[in-house]
Amino acid sequence: MALIVQKFGGSSVKDAEHLRNVAEIVTSRYREGNDVVVVVSAQGDTTDDLIEKAKEINPNGSKREMDQLMTAGEQISAALLAMTIENMGFPAVSLLGWQAGFTTSSAYGSARIKRVDPERIRAELSRRNIVVVTGFQGLNRYDDMTTLGRGGSDTSAVAIAAAMHADLCQIYTDVDGVYTADPRKVNGARKLDFISYDEMLELATLGAQVLNNRSVEMAKKYHIELEVLSSLTREKGTIVKEVTNVEKMLITGVAKDDNIARLSILGVPDRPGLAFKIFSKLAQKNINVDIILQSIGRNGTKDISFTVEKDKMQSAIDLLRDYIETLGATAIVADDNVAKVSIVGSGMESHPGVAADMFEALFEANINIRMISTSEIKISVLIDKADGARAVQTIHDKFFDALS
């Protein structure tokens, strides 16, 4: 007998048929004698429909009212799931974020969970109810409804698991686990049985959209074991946990990110502080910079290149175009025909040859590397966008064919 938290996303609860499927998963664990808390997102397109309705009325509606509106989405799906469970003959009760004890910061639209007081959840479990909680939402100190931002339901589930010391937190999605690469695009991609929190975090930032990053950070902080699995199959998924050294794989995954652009500022005078000025200017405008490369100075000048999200490229150019004169630089050039390909693995810390293997694979496939960035458990390269898919496949073959 255990306490299990299960989270189901919008596509898993989108209609009566899917709700029945979810209710079967939930009640099968309940029948084993477990306490079950279920966290749900809004049904299918409900959130988008509500946003559209609001935009029609007021393109700049206040964030407070947007949250007041949006929280109705999970309220509906939670009540419907509770009724579906009731219809199968099991006792269920749905709780809104505030009823489930979620206190958040006051930032409407992107609130952070400050505290979960699971008193009510505990009371309902002690009555042997299956408890369905609305994900994505809470209450701030003004007694106003808040939302946690997109993907927030994952975080809601982990927060409940942490507050209640759950034995397991299962995140049901439309993929059946975490793969060594995107299985729809890479031959031989394999599902991982285990992955560490840190690897999962690197993969999430790299565009493998399986789990919301904040939820992984919270799971790591509170040592919550997560399982990522599909609501449509009944197969085991991938466990995300603090992987021990023995289990460490050399690399766990290959990921590609196309939503990226490279900017280069040419002929920057070789004086201290100029790089700082450029990046603080970008930070002020909320433009996140990823890979940064600074060329070795020549003739008293250097080139500074960096990557930004593709849809931030134009505003970065606009921001810096006038500024480069002040800096004494000569030009700014941009290119969004690029892709970032990365390998992630906690094993590479103790295996210095991993980077060389990756570069060799790219060399053999005649793919030109334009930038390189490394961290302790990640190596990223910037290449031409046209080479992206081929690069992922060739790197995946290099590392994973050897293992099979």
- Residues in the site for a copy of itself, rule: CB under 8 A? 16, 19-20, 50, 53-54, 56-58, 60-62, 64-66, 68-69, 71-72, 75-76, 78-80, 82-84, 86-87, 92-94, 96, 99, 120, 143-145
* Residue number with CB closer to a copy of itself (25 or 208): 25
**Residue 367 to residue 363: CA distance in whole angstroms:** 6
**Residue 6 to residue 12: CA distance in whole angstroms:** 12
Choose among 404, 403, 402, 347: nearest CA to 379: 347
**Residue 339 to residue 261: CA distance in whole angstroms:** 8
* Residue number with CB closer to a copy of itself (59 or 273): 59
β-sheet bridge partners, residue 37? 5, 131
Q: Smallest distance, Å, CB 85 to a copy of itself? A: 9
* Residue number with CB closer to a copy of itself (30 or 179): 30
The CA distances from residue 225 to 61, 65, 197, 241, 404, in Å, are 39, 35, 9, 5, 27
How wide is the angle at C-alpha 362 spanned by C-alphas 356 and 364, nearest 5°?
Answer: 100
Q: Smallest distance, Å, CB 102 to a copy of itself? A: 14
Q: Which two tokens stand for residue 172?
A: 């049901």
* Residue number with CB closer to a copy of itself (33 or 89): 89
Q: Smallest distance, Å, CB 82 to a copy of itself? A: 5
Classify 181 as helix, strand or coil: coil
* Residue number with CB closer to a copy of itself (88 or 333): 88
* Residue number with CB closer to a copy of itself (84 or 215): 84
Name every residue whose Cβ is closer than 8 Å to that of residue 242 and which is 6 or more positions away in sequence.
Answer: 196, 197, 220, 223
Classify 281 as helix, strand or coil: helix
Q: Smallest distance, Å, CB 79 to a copy of itself? A: 4
**Residue 238 to residue 261: CA distance in whole angstroms:** 32
Q: Smallest distance, Å, CB 206 to a copy of itself? A: 36
* Residue number with CB closer to a copy of itself (72 or 389): 72
Give me the DSSP letters along 47-109: HHHHHHHHHHH-TT--HHHHHHHHHHHHHHHHHHHHHHHHHTT--EEEE-TTTTTEEE-S-TT
Q: Smallest distance, Å, CB 34 to a copy of itself? A: 22
* Residue number with CB closer to a copy of itself (81 or 219): 81
**Residue 282 to residue 47: CA distance in whole angstroms:** 31
* Residue number with CB closer to a copy of itself (139 or 229): 139
Q: Smallest distance, Å, CB 173 to a copy of itself? A: 23
Contact yes or no for 216/159 (Cβ under 8 A)? no
Choose among 332, 287, 327, 293: nearest CA to 311: 287
Q: Smallest distance, Å, CB 109 to a copy of itself? A: 13
Q: Smallest distance, Å, CB 53 to a copy of itself? A: 6
Q: Smallest distance, Å, CB 345 to a copy of itself? A: 45
**Residue 111 to residue 80: CA distance in whole angstroms:** 25
* Residue number with CB closer to a copy of itself (74 or 227): 74
The CA distances from residue 31 to 37, 89, 119, 135, in Å, are 13, 11, 23, 24
